Structure 1
């Protein structure tokens, strides 16, 4: 197919995320290598976004390609109740890499699904139903994660899963919690504790955060915030879930963004 036919067929027979039908202008990509994307008519683009912030080692890395070929020649599919060498090796390696006592993992197909399962996990573990999340956040576009998401994309999808309580993070868009990191951290946590009291601490299972907020502004937390937040949630038996889908795996200078705050959360989601 030539470039024009590819673009026309994609627009006619498929839907694009976060785009109004008929108004999207997709990039015609034929192949990718390293940091470059290539079009069918000789175009070349720098993939400065690393696709969805996920191609950490570049496109078509020879070691990745070779590993995929070996996998395709072996066990291609296994139902969830099986024990496989790949599952054993990956689980063991993750237990060595993830900080603290986090050493057990549930495998999903992506970030939103990871957060969906984390919701079920924290509710069943605590016996509580409410979830705290922040307005300047994105946790996925599935039914439940769209409600966790605080930014305006959630609004057309409401009402959805009940029990989600949104709060302001340390960096509201217009309002300010203070002029210094110490002041911002202190005032935001005082505000958050009051919300917890209003909602009933014994009804709140967990709080979901992005340790570094992603699509809502690339917002690292102020100094002391993560440690203060973890201590506050521990005080009320509320679990902390760190959504590291965008910030994890070395993107902030440490393997996981929560490590900058000197904490270990109760649950980590990643993709």
Structure 2
């Protein structure tokens, strides 16, 4: 019952944020009240950034059958159609939010997508093959600087304060700990390791908060120990789940609570 209530509360809070943002976006002057949408995370949210980096096919979705049901061609999304941010953007009357690394002249009027498939909150996770969360934050800083040069400090601050910031990160950090021999993943206790993952995410949220961000959405870490990969590769069995890998779902709630506490 506690888990059901927790999921209901999360859905309710995110829905409330989107309702508020949509009302603002569809006010009397919609062109002046665009709600920017900034996206950070991994393959759950990546709209194609990994198409533009030197990585492996495991971290790319630029081949068939990806994209076959909606776009009719692979876009870099790890889906045969649209992702959650695409539906949220539609709900907010925004265009599809482009990946940051997509070539072109971006003005970021509707926001931008920094997510990278395979990325983690820790720089060591799939290092050299993904855009880790810290690097995604550095891209956000560049966007902020460009906006300041074009609009000035006051308008940029207002723009960033209206934005929605969506995160999905952490799953790859926990899977990596169990699937790699890299010593950095085994030099700390499980509790300390989770603390590092949450700490890195918290640091990013704090910086965005200091820059005016107030609307945050977090996708919870799923029970990864029950995934087919974990059950087959990590315990050589299709029966039951890998309990060690099933991370508490309170991880992201800790960050949400932190943001709400600082705001109050």
Q: TM-score range by the shorter chain?
A: 0.3 to 0.5
Q: Say which structure is richer in helix.
A: 2
Higher strand proportion: 1
Structure scoring higher RCO (CA < 8 A, sep ≥ 6) equals: 2
Provide the TM-score with structure 1 as the length reference: 0.37
* TM-score normalised over the length of structure 2: 0.37
Structure showing greater radius of gyration is 1
